[in-house]
C-alpha cells in the first residue's frame, strides 16, 4: 500500500490503513514534531481516530498526536485544537493509532494533523514520500506546542499520518417559541402549523 492522500495520509473516510504504506523516504520523528496540511472533507464534523506509521522497531517512548488550525499568513500550523498525549508507541514498527476521539472539525476548513515522539536511543522514523502536499517540522521538541510558531523545516512531501473523519452534518430546524394554526382562514383546513401557502404562513404569532 502506497502513501495516498485521503487513503493512508491526511483526512480519510472509511477504513483506516493497516499495512505498511511503503513510503520511499523516512523522516526522523523522535524528539521531533511533524504536521501534514489537509482540508476537512465535506459533511464531516469530527475526528474519531488519528494514526501514524512508525517505520522501524526502536525503544519504548511516549508520543502525542493532535490537530492544529491553519496559519494562512505563513502557511503553517497555528494553534492546537486538540492533543492526545502520554501514549506509548511500543517497541515494534507499524501503525500507532489512537481511537475513540471526538475532535470537532468544520468541513472545508484547513487543518494540520500532527505527531511528536519523545527521544529514543535508536533513531525512530516515519514513512514519507515526495509529493505536492505541505509538511512542516519542528526539531528538538518534547511535546506538541500550543502555538506552532516558526517551523524548523518545510517541504512538499507526504508523511504517513491520518485523521479519520466521521459524523454527518445534519440540518435541524430551530424553533423559537410555539405557533398555533389559524382557524379563521378557510384554506387552513388540513394544514399543520408552519406550512406556507403562496408565501403566507397560516399561523398565529408566537405564543411562547
pLDDT tens per residue across all 208 residues of the chain: 689 999 999 999 999 999 999 888 999 999 999 999 999 999 999 999 999 999 999 999 999 999 999 999 999 999 999 999 889 999 999 999 999 999 999 999 999 999 999 999 999 999 999 989 999 999 999 999 999 999 999 999 999 999 999 987 555 544 444 444 444 444 444 444 444 444 444 444 443 4
Cα–Cα dist 150/21, whole Å: 29
| Pairing assessment for the beta strands 103-104 and 44-54 based on DSSP bridges | antiparallel
Residues 6+ apart with CB under 8 A from 107: 40, 41, 42, 43, 44, 45, 169
Q: Is the dihedral of CA 121, 80, 24, 13 positive or negative?
A: positive
Question: 124 is written with which cell numbers?
Answer: 525512530
- Give yes or no for a contact between 28 and 123, defined as CB atoms under 8 angstroms apart: yes
pLDDT at residue 192 in the model = 47
Cα–Cα dist 134/154, whole Å: 7
pLDDT at residue 58 in the model = 97
Alpha-carbon distances of 3 from 23, 36, 57, 131, rounded to whole Å: 6, 13, 20, 10
pLDDT at residue 208 in the model = 41
| 24 alpha carbon, distance to own chain's centre | 25
Three-state secondary structure of 102-131:
CEECCCCCEEEEEEEECCCCCCCEEEEECC
Q: Domain ranges in the chain?
A: 10-168, 175-208
Query: What CATH code would you report for 10-168?
Result: 2.60.120
Cα–Cα dist 203/120, whole Å: 70
Amino acid at each position: 500500500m502506497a502513501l495516498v492522500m485521503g487513503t493512508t495520509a491526511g483526512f480519510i473516510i472509511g477504513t483506516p490503513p493497516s499495512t505498511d504504506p511503503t513510503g520511499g523516504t523516512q523522516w526522523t520523528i523522535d524528539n521531533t514534531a511533524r504536521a501534514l496540511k489537509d482540508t476537512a472533507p465535506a459533511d464531516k464534523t469530527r475526528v474519531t481516530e488519528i494514526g501514524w506509521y512508525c517505520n522501524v522497531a526502536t525503544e519504548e517512548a511516549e508520543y502525542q498526536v493532535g490537530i492544529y488550525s491553519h496559519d494562512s499568513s505563513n502557511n503553517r500550523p497555528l494553534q492546537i485544537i486538540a492533543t492526545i498525549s502520554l501514549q506509548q508507541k511500543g517497541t515494534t514498527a507499524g501503525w500507532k493509532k489512537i481511537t475513540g476521539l471526538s475532535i470537532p472539525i468544520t468541513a472545508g476548513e484547513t487543518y494540520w494533523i500532527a505527531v511528536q515522539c519523545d527521544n529514543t536511543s535508536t533513531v525512530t522514523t516515519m514513512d514519507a514520500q515526495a509529493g505536492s502536499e505541505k509538511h512542516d517540522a519542528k526539531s528538538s521538541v518534547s511535546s506538541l506546542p500550543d502555538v506552532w510558531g516558526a517551523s524548523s523545516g518545510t517541504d512538499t512531501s507526504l508523511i504517513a499520518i491520518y485523521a479519520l473523519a466521521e459524523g454527518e452534518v445534519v440540518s435541524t430546524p430551530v424553533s423559537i417559541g410555539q405557533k398555533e394554526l389559524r382557524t379563521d382562514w378557510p384554506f387552513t383546513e388540513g394544514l399543520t402549523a408552519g406550512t406556507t401557502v403562496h408565501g403566507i404562513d397560516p399561523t398565529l404569532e408566537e405564543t411562547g
